[in-house]
């Protein structure tokens, strides 16, 4: 199933799963040459300009992770409460 693809920079054959596509020139590269400055990307200026926004995206994802963690805690607390109530009811019946 896994297709072999050739790195456009060094010619190394990598499986499709571990190959990287450059966002800026849409070339296919091995893990060592996936970054624009490693394969002399023709659109490296675009990559340089986009770097600060990439940082911003990273920050947003970490913030949303914190939010989901909090959500998980709330859900966990509610589940614990429900379990305690179920146990109390069971013991009362027995
Ligand atoms: Zn390569
Ligand atoms: Zn590129």
pLDDT tens-digit series, residues 40-85 = 999 999 999 987 655 555 555 666 667 677 888 888 899 999 999 9
CATH superfamily entry for domain 1-51: AN1-like Zinc finger (4.10.1110.10)
Ligand nearest to the CA of 43: 2
Arithmetic mean of pLDDT, 6-27: 95
What confidence category does residue 19 fall into, taking pLDDT thresholds of 50, 70 and 90? very high
Query: Would you state the pLDDT for residue 60?
Result: 56
DSSP 2: -
Quickly count: other Cβ atoms within 10 Å of residue 51's Cβ. 8
Using the mean position of ligand 2's atoms as its centre, give its distance from the Cα of residue 63 in Å.
Answer: 29
pLDDT at 69: 78
pTM of the complete model: 0.52
Neighbours of ion ligand 2 (CB under 5 A): 22, 24-25, 36, 41
What is residue 80's predicted lDDT score, i.e. its pLDDT?
A: 93
DSSP state string for 31-68? GGG-SGGGTT-TTHHHHHHHHHHHHHHHHHHHHHHHHH
Whose atoms come closest to the Cα of 40: which ligand?
2
- At residue 22, does pLDDT exceed 90? yes
What percentage of the chain has pLDDT greater than the value 90?
A: 57
């Amino acid at each position: 199933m896994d297709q072999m693809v050739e790195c456009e920079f060094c010619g190394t054959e990598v499986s499709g799963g571990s190959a990287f596509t450059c966002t800026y020139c849409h070339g296919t590269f091995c893990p060592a040459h996936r970054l624009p400055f490693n394969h002399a990307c023709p659109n490296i200026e675009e990559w340089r300009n986009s770097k600060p926004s990439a940082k911003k995206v990273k920050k947003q994802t970490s913030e949303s992770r914190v939010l989901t963690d909090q959500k998980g805690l709330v859900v966990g607390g509610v589940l614990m409460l429900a379990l305690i109530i179920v146990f109390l009811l069971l013991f009362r019946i027995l």
